[in-house]
Structure 1
Amino acid sequence: MTTVMLVHGAWHQPTTWAKLETELHALGHATRTPALPSAGEHPTSGMHDDAATLAAELATLSGPVVLLGHSYGGIPITEAAAGAGNVDRLIYLAAYMPDKEQSMYTLHGIPDPEDTDGLFPLVDEPRTALYGDLPDAEAEQAVSRLVNQTVRSFAEKVDAAAWRNIPSSYIITEQDKAIPPALQEQMAAQAAEIRRLPGGHSPFLSQPRRLAALIDEIVRSASTPMPGSTA
């Protein structure tokens, strides 16, 4: 059985995956949802700590594992999977897909911060940016569950890019208000294949069944298209 490890994005916690986990379990997949230490009530950890947490979790699994990162989660999965022998595929869901020596700052073309201590401000208008296609009540509940995120997590650069050696899929969310689709397209060009979903930044909440079916299709696909191909 394939284990799908779901890695949450910035300001989030593993509970955000509950609806998608239910759908993936129904399709016969096991799941893991590790908590990144860079997000929480009083976090101080950086991206390398997040990657180490994921690497430790991967070491407890015999495989095969499909490692999925959402949004910021794409950065630590890129580093963590580089030293793992049981990851069959990487999935970037509306996620940052850095190369070696890149960070979230790098990918946005923003200068590195002089001070990496402290917390990174929450994205402007999170209800619209993160949950624009959710009903008001559900979106408000999701916003209420957001936690703090460290500057270090966004500033630290990855030491290795696992997607250069492990087949990868990029799922572009076509009406995303958090990570512009144009930036997603640019990063997705590095992936072995590109998939697309209509809708906003958090399809695991707005369309979990459709997303689970797409993940299932990717997991079960035996072929590995050449970089830059689309589906």
Structure 2
Amino acid sequence: MTSTVHNEPVILLIHGAWHNSWCWELLTPELVERGWRVETVDLPSASADPENTAGMYDDARAIREKLASIDGPVTLLGHSYAGLPMTEAGDALNVSRLIYLAAFQLDKGDSLSGLSGGALPSGDTGTMPAAEDVRNHLYADASDEVAHGAAERLVLQTVKSFSEPLTTVAWQTVPSVFVICDEDRAIDPGFQEQMAARAERSYHLPASHSPFLSMPARLAELITEDAGR
């Protein structure tokens, strides 16, 4: 039995809260066209189950398990909430680069609930729906068709995923890149700038929170150009 050898650069796309891997359906072909092998992972903290109690550590475990099935080197791209489990799990030996796409590049001991000043609940149980106005909040610059289709597929997110603090900080040992979305209405671009100071380099996109749906070709080009550095 022979094993398959992959020569393409590999990228693992990690979705944010309330989403699943479907959100990469427009970005994936753009990356493949530019020579990438694309892998995805579904985080257990996002599901339709209102009794779900999977947390950030469970999400990090899912990322580690996926990484164990991939030959390196692997670029990880995490969007929004995914910055946390990516930071927790991204120090695997086969990871060569971390890309924070409007994502939480936080430090040891940080959690989203802790940083929210009470805006987010904390605890081990309970689930939350996405913001009421997701069209404006998450997909402001996407087409009506794409935004509506995405909003229809959102699921619940566990409170526990927002509550568990980072114990490992991969960006301290793995090269990292931050992509700031200048028109973001979900994570303040000014706060993104502050987090981006932790990365080796940063880029700006004239996008709202989900450029993989509004400008996938431009995002794929940015990812590919950075890989060539």
TM-score clears 0.5: yes
User: What code does the residue aligned with 1:203 have?
Assistant: P
Deviation at 1:199? 1.4
User: What code does the residue aligned with 1:6 have?
Assistant: L
User: What code does the residue aligned with 2:63 have?
Assistant: L
Matched, 1:38 2:45: yes
TM alignment of 1:41-120, pairs within 5 A: 41-42=48-49, 43-82=52-91, 84-110=92-118, 113=121, 115-120=123-128
Taking a change above 3 Å as real, the CA distance of residues 100 and 59 of structure 1, as seen in their structure-2 partners, is: same
Number of equivalences: 220
1:82-128, CA deviations, whole angstroms, 9 ceiling, x for partnerless residues?
Answer: 2x101110000000111111111233344884533110242241110
* Structure 2: 5+ residue stretches without partners: 1-7
TM alignment of 1:174-189, pairs within 5 A: 174-189=182-197
Judge which range, 134-143 or 176-185, deviates more.
134-143
CA-based RMSD of the aligned residues comes to 1.4
Deviation at 1:81? 1.1
Q: Secondary structure at the match of 1:179?
A: coil
User: What code does the residue aligned with 1:212 have?
Assistant: A
Identical amino acids, percent of aligned pairs: 47
Corresponding position of 2:175: 167
CA distance in 2, matches of 1:167, 1:114: 31
CA distance in 2, matches of 1:116, 1:24: 37
What is the TM-score with the length of structure 1 in the denominator? 0.92
CA distance in 2, matches of 1:8, 1:60: 18
Corresponding position of 1:13: 20
* Structure 1: 5+ residue stretches without partners: 222-231
Taking a change above 3 Å as real, the CA distance of residues 35 and 89 of structure 1, as seen in their structure-2 partners, is: same
Corresponding position of 2:139: 131
User: What code does the residue aligned with 1:28 have?
Assistant: G
1:153-176, CA deviations, whole angstroms, 9 ceiling, x for partnerless residues?
Answer: 011011110000001000000000
Judge which range, 131-140 or 104-113, deviates more.
104-113
C-alpha contact 1:98 1:107 (8 A) present in aligned 2: no
What is the TM-score with the length of structure 2 in the denominator? 0.92
Structure 1 stretches of 4+ with a deviation exceeding 4 A read 111-114
CA distance in 2, matches of 1:61, 1:185: 32
C-alpha contact 1:8 1:36 (8 A) present in aligned 2: yes
